[in-house]
Amino acid sequence: METQAFQKVYTKITNITKATIQLKAQGIGNEEMAIVNGRLGQVVKIFGDDVTLQIFSGTEGIPTNAEVVFLGRPPQLKVSDQLAGRFFNAYGQPIDGGPEVEGETRDIGSPSVNPVRRKQPSQLIATGIAGIDLNNSLVTGQKIPFFADPDQPYNQVMANVALRAEADKIILGGMGLSNDDYLFFKNVFDNAGALDRIVSFVNTTDNPPVERLLVPDMALTAAEYFAVDKNEKVLVLLTDMTLFADALSIVSNRMDQIPSKDSMPGSLYSDLARIYEKAVQFPEGGSITIIAVTTLSGGDITHAIPDNTGYITEGQLFLRRDTEIGKVIVDPFRSLSRLKQLVIGKQTRTDHPQVMNAAVRLFADAANARTKMENGFDLSDYDERTLEYAKAYSDKLLAIDVNVDTEAMLDISWGLFRNFFSKAEVGIKQEFVEKYWEEK
Amino acid sequence: MERKNKTTGKVAGIIANLVTVEVDGPVAQNEICFIQHQESDLMAEVIKIIGNSAYVQVFESTRGLKVGTNVVFEGHMLEVTLGPGILSKNYDGLQNDLDKMKGVFLKRGDYTDPLDRDKIWSFTPIAKAGDEVAAGDWLGEVHENGMPHKIMVPFKLEGSYKVKRVVAAGDYKVDDTIAIIEDKEGQELPVTMVQKWPVKMAVRAYKEKPRPFKPLETGVRCIDTLNPITEGGTGFIPGPFGTGKTVLQHAISKQAEADIVIIAACGERANEVVEIFSEFPELEDPRTGKKLIERTTIIANTSNMPVAAREASVYTAMALGEYYRSMGLRVLLMADSTSRWAQALREMSNRLEELPGPDAFPMDLSAIVSNFYSRAGYVYLNNGSTGSITFIGTVSPAGGNLKEPVTESTRKAARCFYGLSQARADSKRYPAIDAIDSYSKYLEYPEVQEYLVSNVGEAWLGNVLDAKDILLRGKEAQEQINILGDDGVPIDFHMRFWKSELIDFVILQQDAFDKIDASTPMERQEYMLSKILDIAHAKLKFDNFDEVQNFFKQLINQFKQMNYSEFKSEKFNNYEVELSDMLKERMN
Ligand SMILES: Nc1ncnc2c1ncn2[C@@H]1O[C@H](COP(=O)(O)OP(=O)(O)OP(=O)(O)O)[C@@H](O)[C@H]1O
Ligand SMILES: [Mg+2]
């Protein structure tokens, strides 16, 4: 690891806790990095001569006479085109056996884009998955997580989306990734022949959890290089942000901060927003789109992590198993893409918004009918039809294994309307009914 | 707190953006200081003083900051700069002009001038030599984007003054002296077009603040028809994430009858601000024919911008609002989301290790929120003109639970409550305002009732209450149907339920993204409501509940087509004729 001349070396640590050490030192900058017995740490508090460092990999075994070397800089990443195709750990060090990257050194966690230098996102990302393209269209420059219980195949869906998205670069930020999932991503990208478009920063379950805190900033610093310097369309995948937030709470608890809801730090909203807000569309054509994963516990979206995430991101894609058809679907009720109105009916067929809404409304009627049935009541003819419709809709459109273009999704929807309902029951603007109701 | 020599100090401690400074002289609570970090000065505000230690919250990242760095105290609190040229500007929370900043990324310590000093304004005097004037009185006016912009006696001046001279009509820059006024001691004071005001203090340069009495038309049916807000009124929109707070606020700011719109994007998404930047220059104000952006000012302190400036941003917005209100204008002020502001307060209070209140928010949260909301209002200015600030804030309750401290505090402060419901949003019943739980206290004001009777119609108030009753009874009927089953209740229950659905689909639900449906003028709202109520009170005959359901679905579909058509257009009229035919079949 780096050591240079004029670096200050200290050997007298005064206090040690599980996550932090404290020592007397002068001329130290806030958030500066240091090496403590070979481990990386960062300054989190200075009072007079007392400097407190957070040690990312924990303080186990650090003696009071350990060597502390201050590096005089915040965490950094070297950026250049050499990043492409490479795998790194949370500190930006290669883990694929390849050489160090040469390039310009940049501080990670850099300032935000001036809002007036942004452009309104407007380019549709087609994924072939109707639960996304039809009901929750994605747009470049958007930030959106998958909300899913840990047993859902979110990483697979995310990999599919990434490969179909036609991005110039895909940047994977893995946090607490199991080794199997890490290898899964590697294989999928490799098999797709996409490895040279991928940059990965990975913290696996084998690594100390607090190191994860660096992963999103590393990934986004690389993303900003490609999006700003190279005007590229960059897709950033962050999985699993729940484990990132858990690391935040570990640190704040160890530093005796007052926890707010669900033992999360009071700053959780700002901490997450700082990351997600890196999603951006630039006028020059470059963009950063963030697709993340937030795992839930028992589908509970009121927990502080999904709750704060929902308040930050531009919608969420909710995966759940539909027992009626035995497949995983993108739940149309709890999923939302807030940027969809920028593209649907504009870059897609004009009937898209109305068809989408009608289809979901009828699906909701089916849910009501099912409740009725479960409560032992007779079903009306309309109820029966909605149930039939819901099955077909789930199977042909909501299931994550669907892969067709948007035009076909709309035609399939009209087909379902026609099969199960009257025009008045569907309740779509007349001009569209006239155009699409009859089979072509 | 004017001082001869500036107090200085040195940084003694740093935790995140809370910095302790050892000072060598007097400092004041909320005083502004600059930390001279390397090449950039970092702005900060004093939030606590103990002995010689001033605790300051820095409005920027403190990365790299070292103990011993010099600090200079400015002798004033956080101030806004007021003068012509504020409209259509994009400011950050501290009123820096974002467009003047260079580069793609925000640079810390980059502070830009809120006004354009070289711009020429064509000035016309209003006051004349010999006039007695006080703070807020009008000395002259310029035209800002076609809007009369008054140049006033600075708000900071106390007592009364005599006008010595006002310059002749002509072209001036903002820093030119446009008047000389004289105080009681004969001391002369030059007045320019620029003045400063501390954002956390309320401007009180008006004669009287009566109760609001005049409804403010927003074009949103759920608000205007059922729970109207007033000019100078206050309201809040709580709702879980994704239920439509921002879309509703944007709709109101596009459509409401206001002269000036100030939008504080407080700790929310940058893309939502970009949406305003990109859409408002294209959209026309139907009343003036001008572009919406010309009457709009945006304060953008998005969630990734420094947390401490988030708190400042809502105050900056309010102070700008008060400035325009003093010119006799109707200001609409929006803050999205006040919860982010409360969270900023919480982060700081925790860092100061203050005793936490519920959910770790500061103990005085309620007082802070009330204090802020009370700055809105309708006023009579000293010269008898009127002006108003209508304030609507959103609240983002943690976990969607309305019993949390920010929602509860705001409920005490705001007079209108527009609660968004998760269930309505899930079933895409937008705007997802829960019409039964929501309320407008203004509807109970006799002066508001009087206004509605004489301006909308004799029957209006009765109709509104009637509609509310139908909604409530429909909900009760639905609960019964769910418990007892379709066959287990009399057919009358189904009728009640479907009448409430009719109101829901035709009046409450409104497509914010449809050109015509998005905004409904009061006349049309009145027409549609009475039409719906006629049906609700008509004697309709059905043999079974299936018939009820089918019939009302057809009605709803027909009404929706009307909602999508130009009012009283041929299309609209045709749908209406078809509608009466459908009804005739059912009546006998
Ligand atoms: N009136 C409406 N008409 C149609 N769609 C709407 C309407 N209101 C909201 N929506 C839909 O809901 C989405 C979320 O709305 P919005 O962004 O206003 O939510 P929010 O309450 O501000 O959420 P957050 O608290 O996370 O900011 C919109 O992107 C849009 O798709
Ligand atoms: Mg919002």
Domain boundaries, chain A: 9-70, 76-340, 352-436
- Chain A neighbors of B278, CB-CB under 8 A: 119-120
Position B1 scores a pLDDT of 66
- B221-439 topology per CATH: Rossmann fold (3.40.50)
Letter for the amino acid at B557? N
| Tokens (6 digits) for B192 | 């320019």
DSSP B354-378: PPB-GGG-BTTHHHHHHHHHTT-EE
Dist. CA A45–CA A436, nearest whole Å = 65
In this complex, is the C-beta atom of A299 within 8 Å of any C-beta atom belonging to chain B?
no
Interface of A with B in 57-76 (CB under 8 A): 74
CB A376 within 8 A of CB A318: no
Position A256 scores a pLDDT of 74
- Residue-wise pLDDT for B141-186, tens only, equals 999 998 999 999 999 999 999 999 999 999 999 999 999 999 999 9
Tell me how close the Cα of B426 comes to any Cα of chain A, in angstroms: 5
- Cβ of B303 within 8 Å of Cβ of A45? The answer is no
CB B148 within 8 A of CB B137: no
At residue B543, the 3 state secondary structure works out as coil
Q: Residue A173, exposed/middle/buried by CB under 10 A (0-12, 13-18, 19+)?
A: buried
Integer-rounded Cα radius of gyration of chain A: 25
Share of chain A above pLDDT 70, in %: 98
Position B380 scores a pLDDT of 98
Domain locations in chain B? Answer: 8-77, 121-195, 221-439, 460-587
| B419 CB within 6 A, ligand 1 | no
Among A128, A163, A164, A172, which residue's Cα sits nearest to residue A290?
A: A172
ipTM score for this prediction: 0.91
Position A259 scores a pLDDT of 83
DSSP A109-130: SPPPBPGGG------EE--S-H
What parts of chain A have a pLDDT lower than 70? 1-6, 440
Dist. CA A261–CA A303, nearest whole Å = 8
Question: For domain B121-195, is the CATH number 2.40.50.100?
Answer: yes
Evaluate whether A9-70 and A76-340 have a shared fold.
no
User: Which of B13, B396, B486 lies nearest to residue A311, judging by beta carbons?
Assistant: B396
Dist. CA A226–CA A234, nearest whole Å = 7
- A76-340 topology per CATH: Rossmann fold (3.40.50)
CA A197 to chain centre: 18
- Residue-wise pLDDT for B450-476, tens only, equals 999 999 999 999 999 999 999 999 999
Q: CB under 8 Å to A422, separation ≥6 — which residues?
A: none
Interface of B with A in 281-320 (CB under 8 A): 300, 302-305, 307
Dist. CA B524–CA B565, nearest whole Å = 12
> B460-587 — its CATH code?
1.10.1140.10
- B8-77 topology per CATH: Thrombin, subunit H (2.40.10)
Element at B181 (helix H, strand E): strand B179-182
In this complex, is the C-beta atom of A300 within 8 Å of any C-beta atom belonging to chain B?
no
pTM above 0.95, yes or no: no
User: Which of B63, B105, B350 lies nearest to residue A31, judging by beta carbons?
Assistant: B63
At residue B14, the 3 state secondary structure works out as strand
Half-sphere exposure of B83 (CA within 13 A, CB side): 25
- Cβ of B356 within 8 Å of Cβ of A316? The answer is no
Element at B271 (helix H, strand E): helix B270-279
* Interface probe, candidates B98, B245, B269, B553, chain A, greatest A C-beta count within 10 A: B269
CB B77 within 8 A of CB B124: no
Nearest CA to ligand 1 atom 24: B241
| Tokens (6 digits) for A172 | 């994977």
pLDDT surpasses 90 at B352: no
Q: What 8-state DSSP symbol labels residue B434?
A: -
Dist. CA A258–CA A230, nearest whole Å = 43
CATH number assigned to the domain with residue range A9-70, chosen from the 4 options 2.40.30.20, 3.20.20.70, 2.40.50.100, 3.30.230.70? 2.40.30.20
Dist. CA B81–CA B198, nearest whole Å = 9
User: Which of A115, A278, A380 lies nearest to residue B273, judging by beta carbons?
Assistant: A115
- Cβ of B399 within 8 Å of Cβ of A111? The answer is no
In this complex, is the C-beta atom of A314 within 8 Å of any C-beta atom belonging to chain B?
yes
At residue B511, the 3 state secondary structure works out as coil
- Cβ of B269 within 8 Å of Cβ of A314? The answer is yes
Ligand 1 atom with the shortest distance to the CA of B243:
21
What mean pLDDT comes out for the span B119-130? Answer: 97
Q: CB under 8 Å to B114, separation ≥6 — which residues?
A: B80, B81, B86, B89, B91, B95, B96, B97
Integer-rounded Cα radius of gyration of chain B: 27
Dist. CA B340–CA B268, nearest whole Å = 8
Q: CB under 8 Å to A128, separation ≥6 — which residues?
A: A164, A402, A403, A404, A405
Dist. CA B331–CA B130, nearest whole Å = 32
Position A440 scores a pLDDT of 60
